[in-house]
Amino acid sequence: MNVHEYADLIHRCIGSCQFIENPPHYVTKLRVFTNPDRFYWSDVLLLHNDLCLKVEDSARFSGDEMTIRNFSYDLRRRSAPRRLIWRIDSHSDWHPISDPCHIHINPDNDDERLEFFKNSQGINFLYVMHCLKNQYENKPQEWEVK
Amino acid sequence: MTAEIVYPTLDEYAARVDALAKKYGRDFWWQLSLEQMDDEDRFEFSFIKECLWDDLIRHECEVGSVDIGEPPGQALLFSTQDKPGSSPGLSFCMEVLFERPRVRRPHSSLYR
């Protein structure tokens, strides 16, 4: 997946996402830079049932592949005390896609992490949409069943 | 909610890093550090450092070269460093300090 395909994937995911709260309506900007290919997206998506997803997603690409990333997908309650539900991240730093990334699931200690993902390949916004779907359908997440 | 794919220009990001420098009390954007920033700016500046730094340095030099001029008896010298400095991409250093007016850039449309 190259940078244009990744931006387009997110564009389509957002356009068809049934969990996003409609009003207020606003536009989220996905920034794409070419030659070399780079991607940047930072946003907060307001979701149904008092949830919000904070997205920080940035990457360098080489041709059809992401090579290095810095990302965080943080799902939590919107109302105080804004308790964490889960956060998948690269710990606020740039790492090659082959490096492990983490999941945080302890609402009482946001920093506590579970070393679950062997690498960040495939841990993209499409995967986050899959996790959101599980959340809304009360299905277990991948890290809860393994 | 809808998503829009945008292709920002370096001019827009040059204006953005200037705004960050002003916000965090630095004379120049390349003096900024992640440690001094709030969470919101930190992620964006991390992207700038990792992905746009070299481009912005080049852009700064290209824009600056229009303004600098060459006062009599004072030439602008560049030399390479033996080792990379603390600023990624800044692999040269100026041996003669020079003053030039801050470049006034159009307001970034990225943040409207």
Residue B73 predicted with pLDDT over 50: no
Per-residue pLDDT, averaged over B29-55, amounts to 93
Q: What pLDDT does B89 receive?
A: 47
Q: What pLDDT does B74 receive?
A: 44
Residue B93 in any domain: the answer is: no
With CA atoms as reference, report the closest residue to A6 among A90, A73, A46, A65: A65
Q: What is the interface pTM, i.e. ipTM, of the complex?
A: 0.88
Angstroms from B17 CA to nearest CA on chain A: 15
Report how many domains make up chain B: 1
Angstroms from A30 CA to nearest CA on chain B: 5
Q: B43 in contact with A at a CB cutoff of 8 Å?
A: yes
pTM for the whole structure: 0.80
Angstroms from B108 CA to nearest CA on chain A: 14
- Select the residue of B4, B43, B51 nearest A60 (Cβ to Cβ): B51
Q: What pLDDT does B18 receive?
A: 95
Cα–Cα distance between B33 and B50 in angstroms, integer? 13
Q: What pLDDT does B109 receive?
A: 54
Mean pLDDT (chain A) is: 92
Q: What pLDDT does A52 receive?
A: 95
Residue B110 predicted with pLDDT over 50: yes
Residue A19 predicted with pLDDT over 50: yes
- Select the residue of B1, B42, B51 nearest A26 (Cβ to Cβ): B1
Q: What pLDDT does B21 receive?
A: 95
- Select the residue of B4, B7, B50 nearest A94 (Cβ to Cβ): B50
Write the burial class of residue B1 (CB in 10 Å: 0-12 exposed, 13-18 middle, 19+ buried): middle
Phi-psi region of B43 (alpha: psi -120 to 50; beta: other; left: phi over 0): alpha
In chain A, residues with a C-beta closer than 8 Å to the C-beta of B4 are 11, 27-30
- SS3 at position A139: coil
pLDDT tens across A20-57, in order? 987 667 888 999 999 899 999 999 999 999 999 999 99
pLDDT tens across A99-135, in order? 998 899 999 888 888 888 999 999 999 999 999 999 9
Residue B20 in any domain: the answer is: yes
Q: Which residue segment(s) compose the domain that B45 sits in? A: 10-69
